[in-house]
Chains A and B, each alone.
Chain A
Amino acid sequence: MAQSSWFRNYKVAACVLVALAAAPLVPVLNSSYMLHVLILMLMWSVIGMSWNLLSGYCGQVSFGHAAFFGLGAYTAGILYLHGGVSGWWGLPASVIVVGLGSLVIGYICLRLRGPYFALGTLAMGEVLRVTAENMEWLTEGTMGIMIEKRTWVAKEPFYYIVLALAVGTFVIMELLVRSKWGYYFVAIREDQDAAESLGIDTTRYKTIALVISGVLTGLVGAFYTNYMGFIDPEVVFALHDISIITIMVVMVGGVATRWGPFAGALIMIVLSELIRAMPKIGTAHQTLFGVLLIVIIIYLPNGVMGDFRKVFRLVRRGAAPARAGGE
């Protein structure tokens, strides 16, 4: 019984996993460019899932996930630059560094609530960016860190590493969200005072969500350093290109849904590649993203997955006259 219900719940997940694992074998997808797009998509899904844990389930909206991403990226970069070891050691090392960093950020920011927490985390991302720009002896400042020799020329190894990260994150999310902690997180999101009065140590569980979310994002950051071979503060601590896109990925896909981050990452990456390909409109990609964000917030506040029925109905109705507020 337990076995069959497990299978029923995760049939889709198993299919997706098999499809993704087999993707490099499909000739059309096995170009350097397509694999790059797929790697980006998986990276964003991991960041999206981790943001979803902290912000979607636990309700602590972070505007500063670039802080964790950048910390992870720089852990790998600095290990390579000063430690003289492979940047891949950055992955295990970033768990410790970002874990500690998240504790500090949590200590400062988690005393804030709602939008104030959001802005606190945003400030943390900016603090780290400016620090990385100014601590030239450690980070090479705005010059950035360049990894001279990429580990592999082919993209497949990178693809399978990030796929493993994504699967691991997905499993962790499923275990967490279905555990007692997951219920605590949702309780905190719905009403922090009520959760507190029921005996949930809100600060403790918010910190747990933040640290797990941060560490997973940091792992992607460390992966990014090894994959791209170059990092600088403007890129890895970027407010718009990392922190805000993280939020958009989950908002578009669906906040607090299992598949939202994947759907969001897919939509966002495909969109940004399409927009970039268009000659005149390329420079307007932030305007288009901004418009998309506004449209999503007003019409699909729960994202593509959360408002699945609504999207479905809209698509099916198609040419039929759309009625305002057709609930």
Chain B
Amino acid sequence: MVQLEVFLQTLISGILLGGLYAVIGLGMTLIMGVMKIINLAHGELMMVAMYIAFWLFSLLGVDPYVSLLVTIPALFVLGVVIQRTLISPVLKVDSILPENQVILTVGIGMILANLATMFFSSDYRSTPVSYAADAWYLSDYWRSSPIELSLSVPWTVSFGFALAITAALWGFLQHTDTGKAIRATAQDKDAALMMGINVERMTMVTFGLGAALVGAAGSLFIPMYYLYPALGGKFTLIAFVITILGGLGSTQGAIIGGIILGIFESMTATYIGMGWAPVGRFVIFVACLVFLPRGVAGLMKRS
């Protein structure tokens, strides 16, 4: 019975983690789909958003979930500025290696992480919200329950927000003109251009959206995670693993990929050891490259 309890509890925390991962992965997969570049500053953008949420909480006492109202627009603007001033000029530069843009985003990430270290020092910070350790217990609702499971309040609330954001994004991409234009640009840039879509602007909006999504993820993660300037790299890798897992540029794939990764990581942490969770992440990444190179999206298409 204890075995089952541990397993179910691990599964639940994996799903909760995966929902948040999905939001990070969605941002990256959007940028990848439309611009065909990998944004290696993705995690660093999240770090910036987390610092915004952190300072709002520490200085003004704004709840991390309320700070979503600030981080989302702020990161959207930051994304648009980065796209306009740095990435867009490089797309036009002729060079031997087409990976220049990817290397450029590495440079942006380095600058963001280093500036954060300089201004905010490399201390570990957290937002001690009042509900940080609260949880809902199954036995409170079902007295005679044979097993005991719990749902952490901040994790569940963050997961709820993640679902809402994902649904909003889906609605935006599916039903608005801009959303349709973005999807058209992702499918075929030249054709979209000929249909009168302002491709340049769509690219800008997409990069802003991707940044805004990961900014939202920053606000959702801050109640549970420690914040420090070097945290970006880890989340960039997570975002990348999710996009590979989900299938490059596929939004549904990114959601499923996020949840698979969340469950897998929490399973490795429980059954193999905390330190091995990152290895688990890469094992699934490598397995995916070898056995399922087109990701979950490829699998869905086949069946």
* Cα–Cα distance between A104 and B244 once the two chains are bound (Å): 19
* Cα–Cα distance between A246 and B97 once the two chains are bound (Å): 15
Count, A-B residue pairs, CB within 8 A: 126
Place the interface of chain B in its size category: 35 or more
Cβ-defined contact, B111 with A286, below 8 A: yes
* Cα–Cα distance between A123 and B113 once the two chains are bound (Å): 19
Cβ-defined contact, A134 with B275, below 8 A: yes
Residues of B within 8 A of A77 (CB): none
Cβ-defined contact, A290 with B98, below 8 A: no
Residues of A within 8 A of B90 (CB): 297-298
Cβ-defined contact, A290 with B108, below 8 A: yes
The binding surface of chain B is classed by DSSP as helix
Cβ-defined contact, B107 with A293, below 8 A: yes
* Cα–Cα distance between A291 and B111 once the two chains are bound (Å): 7
Interface segment, one of A9-17, A54-62, A158-166, A221-229: A54-62
For B290, the closest partner residue in chain A by CB is A108
From B38, B107, B282, contact of A126 by CB (8 A): B282
* Chain A residues close to B by CB (< 8 Å): 55-56, 59, 61, 63, 108-109, 111-112, 114-116, 118-120, 122-123, 126-127, 130-131, 133-134, 189, 239-240, 244, 247, 251, 255-256, 283-287, 289-291, 293-294, 297-298, 301-302, 306
Question: 6 tightest CB-CB pairs across the interface, nearest first?
Answer: A301-B95, A293-B107, A290-B111, A286-B114, A290-B110, A127-B282
Contact (A298, B89) CB under 8 Å given A283-B118, A286-B113: yes
* Chain B residues close to A by CB (< 8 Å): 37-38, 40, 86, 89-90, 93-100, 102-104, 106-111, 113-115, 117-118, 233, 237, 240-241, 244, 248, 273, 275-276, 278-279, 282, 285-286, 289-290, 293
For A285, the closest partner residue in chain B by CB is B114
In the complex, which of the residues B90, B106, B107, B282 has the most CB atoms of chain A within 10 Å of its own CB atom? B107
Residues of A within 8 A of B98 (CB): 114
Distance in Å: Cβ of B45 to nearest Cβ of chain A: 14
Residues of B within 8 A of A127 (CB): 279, 282, 286
